[in-house]
Amino acid sequence: MTSAQSSRQKLGRKFINASAVLGLLYLFAPIVVIVLFSFNKPKGKYNIVWQGFTLDNWANPFSKPEFTDALIVSLQVAAVSTVCATLLGTLIAIALSRYRFKGSGAVNLFLVLPMTSPEIVLGSSLATLFLARGVERGFMTVVIAHIMFQVSFVAVTLRARIRGFDWALEQAAMDLGASPRRAFWKVTFPLILPGIIAASLLSFALSIDDFIITFFNAGSLVTFPLQVFGASRVAIPPQLNVLASMLLFGSIAIMVAGLIFESRRQRAASGSSRH
Amino acid sequence: MATQKKNSTGRGTPLSRRDFLVRSGLVGAGALSMPALLAACGGGGSGDSEAMSLMFENWPLYIDEETVALFKSATGIDLKYTEAYNDNNEYFAKVQPSLAAGKTIDPDIVAPTFWMAARWIQLGWAQKINMANIPNSKNLRDDLANPSWDAKNEYQMPWQTGIAGIAYNAKTTGRELKSVADLFDPAFKGKIGMLTEMRDTLGLVLMSEGKSLDSIKTFDDAASAFDKIEKAKKDGQIRAFTGNDYTDDLSSGNFAACVAWSGDVLQLSKDNPDVKFYVPEEGGTSWYDTMLWVAGSENGSAVEKWMDYVYDPVNAARITASVQYISPVKGVQDELSNMGGDAAALAEDALLFPDAATISRLQSWGALSEEEEAKFDERFAAITGA
Amino acid sequence: MLVLAIGVVSIGAGWVSGTTRLVALSVMLVSVVVLVWTAFMGGLETRRALAPYGLLKPGILWLSLFFLAPLWSMFQMSLSSKQSRFDFFPDFTWEWSNYSTALTDFAPQFTRSFVYAAVATVLTLLIGYPLAYVIAFRGGKYRTILLGLVAVPFFTSYLIRTLAWQNLLADSGPVVSLLNTLRLDAPLEWLNIMDNGRLMNTPAAVIGGLTYNFLPFMILPLYVSLEKIDVRLVDAAMDLYTTASGAFRRVVLPLSLPGVFAGSLLVFIPAAGDFVNAQFLGSPSTTMVGNSIQNQFLRELNYPLASAMSFVLMAVITCSVLVYAKFMGTDDLV
């Protein structure tokens, strides 16, 4: 290899690294703004221009009850819908990855369809159905809508995670005398659990942040994104930036905890396999 | 049941854990239980005088927190104050399935702008209020009494009133603006904002063409103003059509000037003294948001108590000091002076208490027929791009 | 299974009513009972054979009821007509004119949607590829952390993120000032990216917002496909083709195509139907079809027209996905 080539390679390497760093900066630019303006001290009700530093907003993050309540509603919707969707989606994923059966191709396609339809189509069509059936839109309809898009999501991501799962393990347990139920709960379930947790956490996040589908089906229910949308027409108080920053730091904490847990588990697993 | 309903949706008192468990349980029971759930958290209000409850759905940032708390302690009424009314047309579309089907909605009082209030009344979505039970209704400003669409003043009481005029950022414009014609000045190309509230944007342009708003009855009467706005949009003169959020653009300098509402600008000038408001020489529009008693609501006496409470000049002045729109209640100016401090300064503010010359420049829209209004809306929607 | 799903859809959509509906319901009930009964009482073999259907049933029923049935309902709506302005439930009248209105009056919005979404997809690929590449090949033991970093911004609310871009792109905001200091404003004006010294409320701002908001949907699948590539393979390719770019072109890129494919769908589809970015960052001349659907449905109460537009949007997207799948030579969408 000539030196010209290797220096060109180094340059290319640097270029790619630099563009990755720029990409990260791009990703974080708005986050900086959000966190920064959570410390702003607006004189009037508009949190637009930097006026001065204060910790007051952080001292009273819940002083805007309409935002706090909307956040609680969002958490409730997400909790209920995630539990249901995880259950339904997990069953589908197990069926698809464990069994070969007639129509599995069709089921696959059917599962992907909601993911390849724009949210606005999902939202408006569901709202049309509710209108046609005379169903009053509210908490229930939002939960129904969220489960609808989460089921596909959980099923597809979980199926990808457990694609390589060795179902013979379960068979082995049964050969050793375990009942099918026991074999499932004692062998299979613990092994696919991390996948289930990951898929449900992600679908929880999707639910919390969903705006478009919820907008069409919420009726008088006000979720966090809907409250933000409504307030954005008037003025966004700095407390909202605080709540957003808290969401951010909270999820980072969960993520870090997950990473530590995962690495410990791996270490433990590799440790035990050595014996 | 009624109090549980009031507690279970929205602001004020967050959902209790029990409600949540009930809901989750029902969800678990499957979609079939939907009617049961709706019955559990939907049911009608109750006129029970022991624990009266009331829900007022208003525009965002349109009251001070204190008044809500004071009203609760003064009357013992469990008031739930929400801010989910943030767009006249959107709210109309949201509640239509219920109200058109003869069912009621959660709020007892809603705050449509006057023209939308006229539509609600016409569609039978509002109830007559017994003004005899509201002694303070005598404090209603004379110019707001008995509008053509509520000739006996029995369906609504105005909440706040305001003026639409032009606002500008003096630093960006470099000069004072006094006319709607300034919004079409090519020097401000791409720096002009207009409101998505059609009656204000269109009204100002119509008046700048020398028309009086009373005379606008058909679409053809307004066609020239529509053309003018559309051309300005195509030329890139108009940068965006906004709701209240023009305040962001104005203070950050994105807009040099825009059509704006008096109260917002008053607030905004606190942060940024360069932002100014002017009622154009050719005329500004005056508008008001109402309090309407929703059809099917059974909390009539609580509704009356609330309206009476906020029409007490002392309470009205406290609200004005916070929201800084023009109060529909007589006597607010004196009460503000009595309050002293910042509030007393507001009593002298020309935007809150416009002088006779400014008032003489104000006009307001009459009622449009359903058919004509549809044409207006369609054309305006086409111009705003949606 | 299929019959069941069709049954649910038809009841949900109100296809069948009255007695037919009762009959259909009881047939479904009986079939469920039979399925459960055979599952419990049948021999091991029958149980095995039926197990997948039993597992699938609840989820598939849910999707049939709340995904397929709504589509049918919307299709009916798109052929309905309103009897009066505030008519709250339009009648089904085979009103095909909704489609012609959708396609003529809203042609600019449709065009913008697809153009903006396509540009945003290309941009996410350009920004996302180097990031995913560096994380996958040079991340080492920090891979997971780096990947987490990429995901972090998306743990705040979508709307708040987009609102933050309003601050960043404002006429006197940091981005415009930076571009002016770097003397990039003139070339950008020439390229029609900046308009009169501003970025906010231009097509560039809307596309920028779309790119930003859907970037992780590109990075994650890219990373997944890149991560699977064996580094030794790349080394071997380096020896073979002698240059890094050659190795990249002939080995890494082809192997990462499934990620490119999945990522571009995951970006293009939501971007084409989005209305938040156009509303927060755009102007009346940059509205997309999502804005129109939202406006017709939630403000103007014109459900038939909104439904027709939704249907056209969905049809165009489905067709382009199919063509794209053929072109990319992969039928495996997930």
* A5, A30, A103: residue with CB nearest C243: A5
Fold entry, domain B162-286+358-384: D-Maltodextrin-Binding Protein; domain 2 (3.40.190)
Lowest mean pLDDT among B20-29, C265-274, C313-322: B20-29
Residue contacts between A and C (CB atoms, under 8 Å)? 250
Residues of chain B contacting residue A207, judged by C-beta atoms under 8 Å apart: none
Q: What is the pLDDT of residue C231?
A: 80
Same structural domain, C149 and C46: no
The pLDDT of residue A3 is 61
Indicate the DSSP class of residue B16. Answer: P
pLDDT at C294: 94
Reference C264, options B25, A116, B258, B74; nearest CA is A116
**Which of the 8 DSSP states describes residue B352?**
T
**Cβ atoms < 10 Å from Cβ of A199:** 28
pLDDT on residue C3: 56
Q: Do A66 and B103 touch (CB under 8 A)?
A: no
Helix (H) or strand (E) holding B89: helix B88-100
Residues B131, B144: Cα–Cα separation, whole Å? 15
In a domain, C333, yes or no: no
Predicted confidence (pLDDT) per residue in C173-187, tens digit? 889 999 989 988 888
- Supply the range of the domain harboring residue C250: 101-328
Smallest Cβ–Cβ distance between A114 and the set C67, C76, C150 belongs to: C67
Half-sphere exposure (CA, 13 Å, Cβ side) for C332? 6
Same domain membership, residue C149 and residue C54: no
- pLDDT for the residue C141: 81
Asked if A60 is an interface residue toward chain C (Cβ–Cβ < 8 A), one would say: no
Residue C19, pLDDT score: 54
Least confident among B370-374, C138-142, C264-268: C138-142
pLDDT one-digit tens code per residue, B100-156? 989 999 999 999 999 999 999 999 999 999 999 999 999 999 989 999 899 999 999
**Which pLDDT score is estimated for B366?**
86
d(CA A72, CA A224): 8
Whether the pLDDT of residue C67 is over 90: the answer is yes
Find the CB nearest A121 among C131, C144, C310: C310
Contacts of B240 in chain C (CB under 8 A): 201, 282-284
In this prediction, residue A251 carries a pLDDT of 80
Q: Is residue A74 in a domain?
A: yes
In a domain, C94, yes or no: no
Cβ-defined contact of C285 to B370 (cutoff 8 Å): no
Are C181 and C316 in a shared domain? yes
Mean pLDDT of A108-114: 87
Chain segment B211-261, per-residue pLDDT in tens = 999 899 999 999 999 999 999 999 999 999 998 889 888 888 899 999 999
pLDDT tens per residue, range C23-36:
666 666 666 666 66
**Does residue A123 fall inside a structural domain?**
yes
How close, in Å, is residue A180 to chain B by CA atoms? 26
pLDDT of residue A215 exceeding 50, the answer is yes
Please name the residue of chain C whose CA is at the shortest distance from the CA of residue B381.
C295
Neighbouring-strand partners of residue B285: B164, B363
Say if A251 falls within a structural domain: no
Q: Which residues contact A48 (CB under 8 A, 6 or more apart)?
A: A42, B247, B248, B251, B252, B271, C167
**Banded pLDDT at C241 (limits 50, 70, 90):** confident
In a domain? residue C89: no
In this prediction, residue A110 carries a pLDDT of: 87
Q: Is residue A105 part of a domain?
A: yes
| Structure confidence at residue B162 as a pLDDT band (50, 70, 90) | very high
User: What pLDDT sits at residue C154?
Assistant: 82
CB contact under 8 A, B31 and C65: yes
What digits encode the pLDDT tens for the residues C148-176?
A: 888 888 888 899 999 999 989 998 888 99
Instruction: Yes or no: say if B42 and B103 are a contact pair by the CB < 8 Å rule.
Output: no
* Residue C253 near residue A104 (C-beta atoms within 8 A): no
Closest of C300, C304, C274, C299 to residue C289, by C-alpha: C274
**Domain around A90:** 65-236
Q: State how many domains chain A has.
A: 1
pLDDT tier, C54 (very low <50, low <70, confident <90, very high otherwise) = confident
Q: Which of C170, C292, C299 sits opposite B252 (nearest CB)?
A: C170
Classify each residue of C282-300 as buried b or exposed e, where b means 16 or more C-beta atoms within 10 Å of its C-beta: bbbbbbbbbbbbbbbbbbb
- Confirm or reject contact between A125 and chain C (CB < 8 A): yes
**A119 close contact with C: CB closer than 8 A:** yes
In whole numbers, what is the pLDDT of chain A averaged over residues?
Answer: 86
DSSP conformation letters of A173-197: HHHTT--HHHHIIIIIHHHHHHHHH
Residue C289 lies in a domain: yes
pLDDT of B364 strictly over 60:
yes
Q: Is the pLDDT of residue C88 over 90?
A: no
CA distance B94 to chain A (A): 6
Question: A234-273, pLDDT tens digit by residue?
Answer: 888 888 999 989 888 888 888 788 778 777 877 776 655 5
Mean pLDDT calculated for residue range B276-295: 95
Which positions in chain A touch B270 (Cβ < 8 Å)?
Answer: 43-44
Rounded CA-CA distance A108/A112 in Å is 6
| Residue B385 pLDDT class (50, 70, 90 cuts) | confident
Asked whether residue A23 is assigned to any structural domain, the reply reads no
pLDDT tens digits for range B306-315: 999 999 999 9
CATH 3.40.190.10 in chain B is located at: 162-286+358-384
C-beta atoms of C299 and B93 within 8 A: yes
Asked if residues B358 and B277 have their Cβ atoms less than 8 Å apart, the reply is no
- Residue A233 in 3-state DSSP? coil
- What residues in chain C have their Cβ under 8 A from chain B's Cβ atoms? 65, 85-86, 88, 105, 166-167, 170-173, 195-196, 198, 200-201, 282-287, 291-292, 294-301
Residue C58's pLDDT is what? 85
Name the residue among A159, A224, A255 with its Cβ closest to that of C157. A224
In whole angstroms, give the CA distance from residue A102 to residue A104.
Answer: 6
Distance from the Cα of C164 to chain B's closest Cα (Å) equals 12
C90 inside domain: no
CA distance C234 to chain B (A): 50
pLDDT bucket at B88, cuts 50 / 70 / 90: very high
Distance from CA of A275 to the nearest CA of C (A): 25
> Looking at the domain assignment, is residue C70 inside a domain?
yes
Q: What is the mean pLDDT of residues A152-168?
A: 85
- Total beta-carbon pairs less than 8 A apart between chain B and chain C: 79
The answer to whether residue A231 sits within a structural domain is: yes
CA gap B261, B193 in Å, rounded: 12
Mutation pick from B96, B169, B254, B275 vs chain C, by most beta carbons of C within 10 Å, is B254
CATH number at residue C137: 1.10.3720.10
Summarised one tens digit per residue, pLDDT across range A169-203 is 888 888 888 887 888 888 888 888 988 998 998 89
Residues with Cβ < 8 Å from B157, sequence gap 6 or more? B129, B134, B137, B140, B290, B291, B307, B311, B328
Best mean pLDDT range from A58-62, A134-138, C123-127, C232-236: C123-127
**What's the rounded Cα separation, in Å, for the pair C63 and C315?**
19
CA distances from A41 to A49, A55, A238, B62, C58 (A): 9, 9, 8, 20, 51
Which phi and psi (to 5°) does residue C284 adopt?
Answer: -60, -15
pLDDT at B16: 40
Residues of B in contact with C86 (CB under 8 A): 96, 100, 123, 370
User: What's B211's DSSP letter?
Assistant: -
Identify from A45, A77, A82 which residue to disrupt to test chain B contact, counting B C-beta atoms within 10 A and taking the largest count: A45
Q: Is residue C276 part of a domain?
A: yes
> In angstroms, what separates the C-alpha of A44 from chain B's closest C-alpha?
6
ipTM of the complex: 0.88
With pLDDT > 70 as the criterion, what percentage of chain A qualifies? 95
Tell me, what amino acid is at A187? V
Q: Are residues A228 and C159, on separate chains, in Cβ contact within 8 Å?
A: yes
Give residue C11's pLDDT band: very low, low, confident or very high (50, 70, 90): low
Residue linked to tokens 């000049």: B313
For residue A76, the chain B residues in CB contact (below 8 A) are 15, 20, 23
pLDDT at C109 over 80: yes
At residue B30, the pLDDT reads 38
Distance from CA of A37 to the nearest CA of C (A): 9
- Cβ–Cβ gap A76/B28 under 8 Å: no
**pLDDT band for position A4 (cuts 50, 70, 90):** low
pLDDT of residue C7: 56
| C-beta atoms of A148 and C167 within 8 A | no
Q: Is the pLDDT of residue B24 over 70?
A: no
Would you give the DSSP letter of residue B126?
Answer: B
Quick one: pLDDT at residue C32?
A: 64
Give the CA angle between residues C96, C320, C322 to the nearest 5°.
110
Cβ-nearest to B251 among A49, A72, A80: A49
Residues C206, C250, single domain; the answer is yes
What are the tens digits of pLDDT across the range B28-68? 333 333 333 333 343 334 444 456 899 999 998 889 889 99
Q: Which of B5, B8, B11 to mutate to test the interface with A (most CBs of A within 10 A)?
A: B11
Residues of C in contact with B34 (CB under 8 A): none
Mark yes or no for CB contact C150/A252 under 8 Å: no
Mind telling me how many Å the CA of C72 is from chain A's nearest CA?
8
pLDDT of residue C39: 58
On whether residue A198 sits in a domain, the answer given is yes
A220 CB-near residues (< 8 Å, 6+ apart): A137, A138, B9, B10, B84, B94, B95, B105, B106
Alpha-helix runs per DSSP H in chain C: 2-13, 18-41, 44-63, 69-78, 97-105, 107-138, 143-151, 158-169, 174-181, 185-190, 203-227, 231-241, 244-247, 253-273, 276-281, 289-298, 303-328
For position B309, what pLDDT does the model report? 97
Residue B216 has a CB neighbour count (10 Å cut-off) of 22
Q: List, for residues C193-235, the tens digit of each pLDDT value.
A: 888 888 999 999 999 999 999 999 999 999 989 988 888 887 8
Same domain assignment for residues C145 and C176: yes
Here the CATH number for the domain that contains residue A108 is 1.10.3720.10
Average predicted confidence (pLDDT) for chain B: 85
Task: Read off the pLDDT of residues A112-136 as tens digits, 9 standing for 90 and up.
Answer: 888 889 999 999 999 999 998 888 8
Distance from CA of A69 to the nearest CA of C (A): 16
Using a CB-CB distance cutoff of 8 angstroms, which residues of chain B are in contact with residue A131? 97
**Is residue C92 in some structural domain?**
no
